[in-house]
Chain A
Amino acid sequence: MAIPRFWREIPSRYNLIGTKCGSCGKVDFPPRAICPVCGRKSLGKMERFRLGGVGKVVTYTVIHEAPAQFEMQKPYVVAIVEMDEGVRITSQIIDADPSEVKIGMRVQTTFRKLGEEGEAGIIHYGYKFRPVS
């Protein structure tokens, strides 16, 4: 992935920075310029908002056929997690055997490597989920 493209999203990828609509209170992740509920009423009212990092698994899959950069991890779990703030996000679940993953399970974000541009390239970091201890 091109350097500026990844670098731009660091606040969201490292620190779960999203937005909260000043008009209706809906939390979005990643940040949005316009609230999908309020539309133009929300212009200029979208506030920076940091997610707490805890949520529950809504659905998941175990990926066996993976792109090259995920070869080392397969099979690995990808899930859609509904954060306590209501917004849903997609990432891997790590530190758990695939057979331990259940819909409804509580998970929290951790900081992990997402990939790298080969041995000589930039390393990308971001959030993955682990079961709440």
Chain B
Amino acid sequence: MKSGIVSYGAYVPRYRIRPKDIGAVWGADGEAMGRGLNIRSKSVPGPDEDVITISVEAARSCMAKVDVEPTDVGAIYVGSESHPYAVKPTATIVAEAIGAAPVMTAADYEFACKAGTAAIQTCMGLTLSGMCKYGMAIGSDTSQGAPGDALEYSASAGGAAFLVGTDGVIATLDHTVSYTTDTPDFWRREGQRYPSHGGRFTGEPAYFRHVVGCAQLLFKRTGTTAEDYDYAVFHQPNGKFPVRAGKQLGFKEAQMDTGLLVRDIGNTYSGAILVGLCAILDEAEPGDRIFAVGYGSGAGSDAFDLTVTDGIQKLRRDGRSMKAMIEDAKFIDYATYAKYRGKILLREGSA
């Protein structure tokens, strides 16, 4: 018996900002930065949006595609590094908002950008063991980069929810393999507004070592190579790293194109690989195989291989597709962006 994805849903806020508008404020060549990162724009959450609202929208979109009783969702885990509360889980609010509460378990996860994939693994275990009929794994973020820092060009907002189970599966989660070490490439101390990172240390010893290493473990576990897959999606902190990693592993650009959303919406952190997977599932056909490797700083990778089933044709496609959400873009300037992102010091008592 296998567990797999029963349904999925995503949400990306509609505001966007371009690298050149960020660079202009900090005296940098924003367009060159954008080219260097292979990012054309990134998403920005509106003033009334946060990880909780994004997670709820993604979860509702997920539930709307299938006829699953919300009370059969026995577990909800939300992974993020920008939960609105440090203490009080996002997952309980999602649970109420989709009608799954109260007979169920919930918790929030943190593991930089791989908190969402960790949630998927947990749900696999819970459903395969029969402890829960379905589990919901959500990865969503509204992460910030420090003003003027390189991360400001890429840190964005968005999220996706996956309903995991063994019944009515649209894509089986055939295998999952993880690779975890203590590697301090990117972190944020409690109480600090913005994260810190190790500059070039975030590349080879961090992202590549874990993503490529974990991917190779998955190839070994499954007895496959890159050619066996129709789609590949990697964690995407920018538009260059995942392409380089993919090519190192033998994947072609065509295989990676559909999932490479970072170019238009930036790095949605815990949501990144998950929204990429949603874009793939929007167009995948029965029999397609998907290779997915997430990465979270600190550090670790979770890799999955999936096979799309006939079940995907039974999904209700009423809501907006990933493509439609990406195209529904409203561009804003840096001042509006700074206002929305709370980077302007407000008077006490203002929201």
Contacts and interface: CB of A to CB of B under 8 A. Distances in A.
Contacts of A15: 96-97, 99
Interface of A: 10-11, 14-15, 68-73, 94-95, 110-116, 118, 123, 125, 128, 133
B10 to A, nearest CB: 14
Contact of B351 (A14, A70, A94, A125): A70
A133 B324 contact: yes
Given A14-B96, A15-B99, A68 B349 contact: yes
B97 A112 contact: no
Contacts of B339: 72
Contacts of A110: 53, 57
A90 B289 CA distance: 47
A72 B351 contact: yes
Contact of B49 (A68, A113, A116): A113
A102 to B, nearest CB: 19
Interface in B43-88: 46-50, 52-53, 56-57, 60, 84-85
By DSSP majority rule, is chain B's interface helix, strand, loop, or mixed? loop
A94 B48 contact: yes
A69 B347 CA distance: 11
Contacts, number: 63
Nearest to B340: A72
B320 interface: yes
Given A68-B350, A118-B349, A112 B99 contact: no
Interface residues of B, number: 27
A94 B47 CA distance: 11
Nearest to B85: A123
Contacts of A116: 351
B14 interface: yes
B97 to A, nearest CB: 5
Contact of B56 (A10, A11, A111, A133): A111
B65 to A, nearest CB: 15
Contacts of A115: 351
Given A15-B97, A113-B53, A72 B60 contact: no
A70 B47 CA distance: 10
Interface in B307-351: 320, 324, 328, 339-340, 346, 348-351
A69 B324 contact: no
Contact of B48 (A11, A68, A113, A118): A113
Contacts of B226: none
Which residue of B48, B99, B328 has the most chain A CB atoms within 10 A of its CB atom?
B48
Given A14-B96, A95-B14, A125-B93, A112 B351 contact: no
Interface string B89-124: 000010011010000000000000000000000000
Contacts of A68: 349-351
B52 A123 contact: yes
Nearest to B319: A133
Nearest to B54: A111
A38 to B, nearest CB: 28
B76 to A, nearest CB: 14
Question: 8 closest A-B pairs (Cβ-Cβ)?
Answer: A72-B47, A111-B56, A113-B48, A112-B48, A69-B351, A14-B97, A71-B350, A72-B351
Contacts of B50: 113, 123
A95 B47 CA distance: 11
Contacts of A125: 52-53, 56, 93, 97
A11 B328 CA distance: 30
B57 A111 contact: yes
27 contacts: A14-B96, A14-B97, A68-B349, A68-B350, A69-B350, A69-B351, A71-B350, A71-B351, A72-B350, A72-B351, A94-B46, A95-B14, A95-B46, A110-B57, A111-B53, A113-B48, A114-B48, A115-B351, A123-B50, A123-B52, A123-B84, A125-B52, A125-B53, A125-B56, A125-B97, A133-B320, A133-B328
